[in-house]
Amino acid sequence: MGRATFIHVLALSSLLILFPTQAFAQLKQNYYENICPDVETIVRNATAAKVRQTSVTIPGTLRLFFHDCFTQGCDASVLIASSGSNTAEKDHLDNLSLAGDGFDTVIKAKAAVDAVPGCRNKVSCADILTMATRDVVMMAGGPSYAVELGRLDGLSSTAASVGGKLPKPNMNLDQLTAMFAANGLTQADMIALSRLCAHTLGFSHCNQFTNRIYNFSKQNPMDPTLNPTYAAQLQQQCPKNVDPRIAVNMDPNTPRTFDNMYFKNLQQGKGLFTSDQVLFTDSRSNQTVRSMASSPQAFSDAFVAAMTKLGRIGVKNSQNGNIRRDCSVFN
């Protein structure tokens, strides 16, 4: 090998090391403009109709996108149903009860897209979930943003692939930061996402936080960072040995809208999960929480940047993906 070639190969391989996930290079805005030009309006209309039927569509869809992207990438693997021989991602114990309305949003939007002859089987389920997620954020009063598209649907979905990839509500800042970093997201990305997604909307089952109100440590049965009034309210909603199906609003004040309340709640010790509260109590993240709380623009920019990065995780291309005809079944 000549010296020049050698240097070339060296440069190329270090590029590959620096950018191991080249697959996202194919993503772009308006990806479908010559393929299915109205796709974004079609998906938005179908999503809006679903939200009018039931507002729990909003948190359900948002969380589905997050879980899809964090396990095997944003490739709609979370939508696959288990079959006789395979237990799919959605049936892992850590699926933490993903809401059926999130799945239904994608099914309805896919049907609306496929009803247009030129669009039939041209738009991936992964992209439909990405668009619907952007739409529910906006419908709940969050920022609107342009989405990058061009993902293909993944070819595998196994419960085994979920283990250890999703954050847990009792994690500390180091654990959370490491888990997001493994997906290319910074601590600021994590804080922005946590504010808008987790957890100003939606519900949590009591068992996700009962340790904080009944069995925190030897010295303290209750987590001392928890606001006592809020803790009493949670104990009332979630008595010991409560029915595991019982769920509570994650934002005690304004559960239906995206707003600044998440940060105000944290400042008053009203973060439902340890993973929420540590963002404020840990000195390595409280500065970021504060600046996002005080500047809506800073927050909005950070959120859009974080959602865009979230959407780039593990994107599939024609070598390892396709466009599913039915989002819940491999072709």
Ligand X SMILES: *[C@@H]1O[C@H](CO)[C@@H](O)[C@H](O)[C@H]1NC(C)=O
Active site (catalytic) residues: 67
| Closer residue to ligand HEM in complex, CB, 124/285 | 285
Check residue 83 for interaction with ligand X (CB under 6 A). Answer: no
Contact (CB, 8 A) for 86 and 97:
no
- Helix%, strand%, coil% for the chain, nearest 5: 50, 5, 45
- Binder of ligand HEM out of 131, 176, 231, 315 (CB under 6 A): 176
Residues 204-243 that bind ligand HEM (CB under 6 A): 204-205, 208
Rounded least distance, CB 282 to ligand X, Å? 7
Min dist. Cβ of residue 90 to ligand X (A): 5
> In the bound complex, which residue of the shown chain has the CB atom lying closest to ligand HEM?
197
198 interacts with, out of ligand HEM, ligand X, none, CB within 5 to 8 A per kind: ligand HEM
| Nearest in space to 193 (alpha carbons), one of 112, 279, 115, 117 | 279
- Residues that bind ligand X (rule: CB under 6 A) add up to a total of 15
Could you count the other beta carbons within 10 Å of the beta carbon of residue 123? 24
Q: Are 29 and 304 in contact (CB under 8 A)?
A: no
User: Directed axis angle between helix 173-181 and helix 187-196, to 10°?
Assistant: 100
Q: Which of 23, 330, 3, 19 is nearest to 155 (CA)?
A: 330
Tokens of 327: 């989002």
- Write the Ramachandran bin of 265: left for phi over 0, alpha for psi from -120 to 50, otherwise beta: alpha
State the binding partner of 90 from ligand X, ligand HEM, none, CB within 5 to 8 A by kind.
ligand X
Q: How far is the CB of 100 from ligand HEM (least distance, A)?
A: 9
* Residue 303 near ligand HEM by CB under 6 A: no
Alpha carbon of 260 to those of 206, 292, 293: distances in Å? Answer: 24, 9, 6
In whole angstroms, give the CA distance from residue 100 to residue 124. Answer: 20
* CA–CA distance, 78 with 96 (Å, rounded to integer): 13
* 241 touching ligand X, by CB under 6 A: no
Only one of the segments 41-49, 69-77, 103-111, 132-140 lies at the binding site for ligand X (rule: CB under 6 A); that segment is 41-49
Q: In whole angstroms, how close is the CB of 205 to ligand X at the nearest point?
A: 8
- Using the minimum distance from each CB to ligand HEM, give the nearer residue, 107 or 171: 171
| Interface of this chain with ligand X, residues 281 to 310, rule: CB under 6 A | 283, 286-287, 290
- Binding site for heme b, residues? 199
Distances (CA, A) of 4 to 7, 13, 193, 319: 5, 14, 46, 31
Of 5 and 287, which CB lies nearer to ligand X in the complex structure? 287
Angle between helix 187-196 and helix 286-294 axes, rounded to 10 deg: 50
Residue 73 binding target from ligand HEM, ligand X, none, CB below 5 to 8 Å by type: none
Q: Are 73 and 313 in contact (CB under 8 A)?
A: yes
Among 121, 215, 253, 331, binds ligand X (CB under 6 A): 215
CB 172 within 8 A of CB 274: yes
Report the residue from 46, 119, 128, 201 that binds ligand HEM according to the rule CB under 6 A. Answer: 201
Q: For ligand HEM, which stretch binds (CB under 6 A), given 25-33, 95-103, 145-153, 216-224?
A: 95-103
Q: Which is nearer to ligand HEM, 60 or 73 (by Cβ)? A: 60
Site for ligand X in 244-283 (CB under 6 A): 283
Closer residue to ligand X (CB): 7 or 115: 115
Footprint of ligand HEM on 102-161 (CB under 6 A): none
Q: Measured between alpha carbons, how far is 144 from 128 in angstroms, rounded to an integer?
A: 16
Q: Does 38 bind ligand X (CB under 6 A)?
A: yes
- Take residue 183 and report the two structure tokens written for it: 């997906």
Residues of this chain that bind ligand X (CB under 6 A): 38, 41-42, 45, 90-91, 93, 95-97, 215, 283, 286-287, 290
